[in-house]
Structure 1
Amino acid sequence: MVVASRRANLFRWLEIGAGVALAIMIVATWTAFAKTPDETQLLPTRQTSMLLVGTLIPAMALLVLLGRRLALRRAAGSTARMHVRLVFVFSIIAAVPTLLVATFAAILFQSGVDFWFSDSSRGLMDSANNLARGYYEQNQVDVSQETRAMAGDMLYLLRERAADDLANRDFLEDYNYQMQRREINESAILQAFPDGTVNTAVAIGLVEGNQPALAGEKALKKFADGAIEVVQANSMRVEAIIPIDREAGIYLYNARNNESLSFSQWEKATDVVARYQQLTERARALQLRFNLALFFVSLALVGFAVWFALRFADRQVEPLTNLVLAAGKVGAGNFALRIEGRTGADEIGLLNRAFNRMTAQLEAQTDDLMRANRELDERRAFIEAVLESMTAGIVSIDEDGTIQLMNTSARALLFDDASQDGRGRGFAEISPQIAGVMEQGGDRGIVTLNRGADLLTLAVRIAPATGGKVITFEDITRQLLDQRRAAWSDVARRIAHEIKNPLTPIQLATERLKRRYRTKVGDDAALFDELTSTIVRQVGALRKMVDEFSSFARLPKPVFRDENALDLVRQAVFLQEVAHQDIAFTFDTPEGEVPLSCDRHQFGQAMTNVLKNAVEAVEARAAEEGEGFAGKIAVSIAPGEDVVDICVTDNGVGLPADRDRIAEPYVTTREKGTGLGLAIVTKIVEEHGGEMSFAPAPDGGTQVILRFARTPEEPASEETPA
């Protein structure tokens, strides 16, 4: 179930569900409180409690899920489960009691509201309000009646006792007696004038701040409108103004103040009734506010619990988190890491100390291993350097013949592309010739193999090794060629020595016979001349052959001087162009000079031999194809940074089938050739630090490339045998 919930992302769906449920409950609560236009009507206790609980549950669930998400983020995945469990436990501990308390408070509040806003309570308040209003109105009526009766008495007193003097003592005593008998606290006789002003003629019991004249001026307007009496009340007193003698403009002002206990209690009752009426008018709004207060306070408590759980989880789990992170770093190779947190006697301290001891032991062991590995790496690097520096190819194979190791020389000898690596492949697949030597059971042998256009000769040795064999092979093609050249040089030297000595006496004897006996042979003179000329001509041919033998056998050591390669090549081409005008020569030259350190004579000899071979190849093809053939020889120079390449391209008969041997001594394709021309060129080029290569031309001819080093090394001095 846990795995399935993780795959289905259950908590995300729970968050979405809680959010949707919260939105639905908010809409339902708002609709329930706003659907009745009468604000004095309360919602039932059960309905409000269910709305509050139904809104709190998804809201608290969202807070708990948010705390889980924060716990996962703060733990960064290392101790997330423990964070989540602590947050969940604290959230449940806070949420369940908070939900119960909120439900109980809502029910209790609703019960109290139902009691205080019940019909009996409202009736009681209405009765109290009616009683207070009746007392208030009765008080006004009483003051009005007493004032009306007192006005009649005061008219009599004014006529009998105060006709001339209002300050008459007897009048004042009777006036005071009238007030006391009628429970009047303040009284005054007002005189109204035609201009609308009112003066106070006599006043008894007036308190500071009371101005009966102002009340009289206001009352005159009402009397003018036909009022018989004017009665008004405020928070301080109940006032009544009644005419004593309207024609004379005399009015009686009486006031009963509100200092009596009954009147103050009436005022408080009136205020309570008014406040209760206000509460009744806002009963449903207060009900909504209380539920909102419970809702947000409950959420605040759960949120505080989640926050406290996160802080508590961080504090309790932080040592474990640090330990997990440290273990990860140790797993990555940082064995010098030490935990600097709690190292006391509790479980965390014991764990930290054990971890530090473990890392210390790992560090010591790792240092030993690294030291041993460094020694092994140094030895391996030394062995690899030795193997890579060796010119011989070395291959290590296992018992199944699979290649385990190859050095650079082996890749260069076995593959056309030296960057290829044959490790993991069968050795018999790569070199069946060498594998054949192993199958025969020998430990050494000579094999030949083709690498592109070259034919290589390899000396192979096979040695047993642990779990396989080690095969070494070396390219002895050059060595065999040098041995062959040395042998041919020795042969040429001996032939030249043996043949050259009798040639001069033969030629001299033939010429002497021709001079002495030509006149004596008679009719056979023509035959005699032809025979002696043949002998002299053949002796010249033998002498030329001996000179070539001598040149090949005793090619002098080159003397290097700074020359311009363009001039040397141009001279060689010019000589051949003059001698063979039926062949089109082209010379592609770069701009400027091409400096080259070389032996001028040997460089010219090499160029002449190559150009003569090209001319002979073109003439041979011309003889085959007839007059329609046009011979072409193109010469170009390509100077490089360290070398100078000279390319001679012809459209002659092309390369022979065994073109790999055309540079060897005494190998020729012409009937009258000695096979020493290209051998001499090869020797000259090699002594100039270069090489000569052959390739077929695009139009069927031959392309010869002579590569000379710009600064060749001086050859070692050798004694030339006599």
Structure 2
Amino acid sequence: MDAVTADSLIEVTPKGRQLAPIRLLEIVVLALAVATPVATFLFVRNFSHQVFNPGVAASLLLANLLPYVALIVLIGRRIAIHRAAKSALAGGGRLHVRLVAVFTLMASIPIVLTVIAASVMFQSGVQLWGSERARNAFDATTDLAKEGRGLVAQRWATEARTMVDDLTGDFPKIPVNSQAFQSSLLQQLYYRSFDQAVVFRVVGGKQVEAMYAWEAPPAKTFAARVSGQVLNLLKDEQSYTNFDAEKQWVVTPLDRSQNIFLYVANSVNVDFMNRQNSGADRIVAEFNALQARSRALQLQFNAVLFGVALLIVSIATWIALAVADRLVKPVEQLVTAARRVAGGDLAARVDIPQTGDEISTLGDAFNGMTERLEQQTGALRTANAQLESRRVLIEAVMSGVSAGVISIDAQRNVRLINESAIELLHQGEQELVGHPLAELAPELNDLLDTGDREAVIQLGTGGDARTLAVKVTSDEAGQVLTFDDITQQLNDQRRAAWSDVARRIAHEIKNPLTPIQLAAERLKRRYGKKIEPEDGTFAQLTDTIVRQVGDLRRMVDEFSSFARMPKPMFRQESLLDIARQAMFLHEVAHPTVHFEMHAPDPAPGLICDRRQIGQAFTNIVKNAVEAIEARGEGEALPQGQVVMTISPEEGGRITLTLADNGIGLPVERDRIVEPYMTTRSRGTGLGLAIVKKIVEEHFGTIAFSDRPGGGTLVTICFDTDQLAEMVSAPEGEGGEEPRPAVLTRSGSGKA
């Protein structure tokens, strides 16, 4: 029944068919509360007058207790529902009713169990009192109390007979007047705790004559105790024992042949013995009365337990209602205030008594929360107004600047972009906010991966190529990228630099070119037939001089005419032949230097301007030889070595590396490709600048680093796919500005 009641109480269903089980339960409990006492009365009346065993008594109590406990719980539930109906909480007062149900059940179940346990224990005691074993124990106790007097008399009679045996053993004929006999008698009295003794003789069958006495009683008392009736009994008995209010005495024959008897007596607590006997009788009488009332006591005790249990359950239900009210009312206030806050009233507060418990703490926390919400909402409104005005100002400023500005979040999604950035990135009119930066400008996204704060990047290829100077700054929410288009600025700087180079070349080189060419041709005509025909070195050298002079003349004429590098003429060439030609010139001029060439078979081809690439290779080989010669002379120095390696790479790229064991890179290695930057006394500082320009126009990159073991390592990488596009491009597109190369420098050089 408890389980059913608990489920019904916890599930509060105020409407519909779901209410029927609760109503049915209430009717059943009420019917049981009426029927159970009637059935119990009829059962008890027809049970004769026997004492109930513990199981029957506890079952009767439980059968009557459960319906009334359930009835009290249901009444408490009704009261809780009535109170919850006045609450502003949604849910039909489920919390209120559940609290009452839980508290009531928590109190009812232990009370019922305790009452049943107490009833079983009491009924077991009553059953024990009325058992045959208990009656036998009481009867045995009474008999023992009554037989105690006889046992005492028997003990003293035995002592007296033993005393007579001892005396007759020492004195076969009783010499009463003998000092020794009297002394022995006194010792026996002392050892056996007798305090009176009389040795007497019976004369004529009735007359008593005292022969010896010690602490003898008065003659009248003695005569009463040793009467003729006593003497007649002693004819057949070994001793006679009796007691009165003062003494307990024993009379026993000492010498029957001479009619001599011994009287001994000692003091006893006769009142105690009488009280003991009467107490035993009284206990037996009370036990009989209690046994007769056992059944009534069982019923009375169960009735008391029944009343106490109902009282405690009622008090627990009342306390549960009070506690539920105490808990639910603050919750109701909190819900009402929370609804006001949800509606926008941030001034809502709850008024909960400051009792110092968790409920008051919750109320204080809610009030503190709403107060902070009110303050923060005001601050947010003010901040939003300021942010709005600042946003308008920023948009006005950003729309008026020529630099591109992009703000991104931590995931690199665009938060803000101005019109200049949209134009520089050629993104059109679509909405860009929220798009990933990698979709808008992959180059900018790659720059963020490097971690650089400032850099110059290249966007697009061919005629759409643009060079941007980018600066990256970080804020709390992400990063801000600002960039300017410096393509025209770089072109202007490049034109100015090459104009200056052109003027110097025209001044320094143009005048000696004609005499050099004429001298080489004259040497060939005059000495060509005198040198052995098998040795083609002389002819190859003179042809090289004439060809190089012609190249220089064309380059000078081109610089002088257009103040820039000649436009490259792209066609398929053998990169291995160009490299061998560059190394051959210096191999002949510097026989002390060891030159090596490594290339795959077959060697890869390259779409390039043969003249410009040959010029670039010649320049870097020349720099390598000069770096070796700058070491000086000495036996400890290893032989100078220049190693050129050509290797194709994945992705349509070809890499050329040139390694030497010279003095290495200078300290100012970051400026070695700038015009007029040189560390040699006779250098012009234009060699590597021209090399860099040639490599850039061939869509390549050049990098300088330290060679392991000493020296310099130059790495040039060409993109064959882009070079192929230059060959297939329509007329007039092949000479457009290519993207600038990425220049890398690493290691530490020597001065």
Per the normalisation by structure 1, the TM-score is 0.34
Per the normalisation by structure 2, the TM-score is 0.33
